[in-house]
Amino acid sequence: MISFWQIECSLSIDAFNSHLSNPIFVGFMSGFFKMTLESVMAQKAPGPSATFSVFHLMRAIEIIGHKEIGRGKLAESLKVGEGVARTIVRRLTDAGLIGVSKAGCFLTEKGLRLWEEYNSVVKKAEIDRSELNPAGYSIALLVRKRGSRVKSGMEQRDAAIMNGAKSAITLRFEGGCLVIPSVSENVNKDFPKAAAQVLRALKPEENDAIVIVTADDLEKAEWGALAAMWTFYNAE
Considering the domain architecture, whether residues 205 and 137 belong to the same structural domain is answered as: yes
**Domain assignment present for 123:** no
Considering the domain architecture, whether residues 135 and 85 belong to the same structural domain is answered as: no
Q: What is the pLDDT of residue 12?
A: 40
Residues of the domain holding 204: 128-233
Considering the domain architecture, whether residues 78 and 132 belong to the same structural domain is answered as: no
Q: What is the pLDDT of residue 233?
A: 86
Considering the domain architecture, whether residues 56 and 151 belong to the same structural domain is answered as: no
pLDDT category at 33 given cuts 50, 70, 90 is confident
The CATH number for 81's domain is: 1.10.10.10
Final residue before a domain boundary, out of 84, 118, 152: 118
**Domain assignment present for 176:** yes
Q: In angstroms, rounded to a whole number, what is the distance separating the alpha carbons of residues 153 and 135? A: 20
pLDDT for residue 25 is more than 60: no
pTM of the predicted protein model: 0.83
Final residue before a domain boundary, out of 84, 100, 118: 118
- Taking CA atoms, 51 is separated from 57, 84, 234, in Å, by 12, 7, 22
pLDDT for residue 208 is more than 90: yes
Q: What is the pLDDT of residue 181?
A: 95
Considering the domain architecture, whether residues 111 and 144 belong to the same structural domain is answered as: no
pLDDT category at 46 given cuts 50, 70, 90 is low
Q: In angstroms, rounded to a whole number, what is the distance separating the alpha carbons of residues 179 and 197? A: 14
Query: What does the mean pLDDT of the chain come to?
Result: 86
pLDDT in tens, 76-120: 999 999 999 999 999 999 999 999 999 999 999 999 999 998 999
Q: In angstroms, rounded to a whole number, what is the distance separating the alpha carbons of residues 123 and 140? A: 8
The CATH number for 149's domain is: 3.30.1360.30
Q: Which residues contact residue 214 at a Cβ distance below 8 angstroms, ignoring those fewer than 6 apart?
A: 133, 135, 136, 137, 138, 165, 166, 167, 168, 221
Final residue before a domain boundary, out of 77, 98, 118: 118
Q: What is the mean pLDDT of residues 25-44?
A: 72
**Domain assignment present for 148:** yes
Q: What is the pLDDT of residue 51?
A: 83
**Domain assignment present for 52:** yes
Considering the domain architecture, whether residues 47 and 104 belong to the same structural domain is answered as: yes
Q: What is the mean pLDDT of residues 186-194?
A: 97
Considering the domain architecture, whether residues 213 and 171 belong to the same structural domain is answered as: yes
In eight-state DSSP terms, residue 50 is: P
Considering the domain architecture, whether residues 156 and 215 belong to the same structural domain is answered as: yes
| Domain tally, the chain | 2
Considering the domain architecture, whether residues 112 and 154 belong to the same structural domain is answered as: no
Considering the domain architecture, whether residues 206 and 156 belong to the same structural domain is answered as: yes
Considering the domain architecture, whether residues 37 and 61 belong to the same structural domain is answered as: yes
Considering the domain architecture, whether residues 101 and 142 belong to the same structural domain is answered as: no
pLDDT category at 26 given cuts 50, 70, 90 is very low
pLDDT category at 30 given cuts 50, 70, 90 is low
